[in-house]
Amino acid sequence: MLDDDRAELTRVYVRPRFRGSGGARSLLAALEDEAREMGATEMVLNTRLDLIEARSLYSRVGYVEIPAYCTGPYMEVWYGKRLGPRSHKRATA
């Protein structure tokens, strides 16, 4: 958790051969669910401007550009998303 209400998404990667199959969207949904369970009401992330496919994915699943919440190398654009109810139910063992 970044603070009491925000979880930060960092270093998420889908191997090239699995891209385009919906895996990234499912991975994001699962990470958002985990953040909710930890008490987060918002997910934030940062990325580079040249990662066009990633930026497009974030926009498609509801992330919007926000002011910078941190600084550092490779941080060129920041996104945030309010977390509503869980996006799906996962099976439990």
What does the H/E/C string look like for 6-63? EEEECCCCCCHHHCCCCHHHHHHHHHHHHHHHCCCCEEEEEECCCCHHHHHHHHHCCC
Residue 86 is predicted with a pLDDT of 67
Full residue range of the structural domain in which residue 74 is found: 6-10+20-82
Q: Cα-flanking dihedrals φ and ψ of residue 73, to 5°? A: -65, 145
Looking at residue 89, its pLDDT comes to 53
Contact, 35 vs 83, CB < 8 A?
Answer: yes
What confidence tens digit (pLDDT) does each residue in 17-44 have? Answer: 888 888 899 999 999 999 999 999 999 9
Q: How many domains does the chain fold into?
A: 1
Residue 41 lies in a domain: yes
Q: Is residue 77 part of a domain?
A: yes
CATH code for the domain in which residue 29 is found = 3.40.630.30
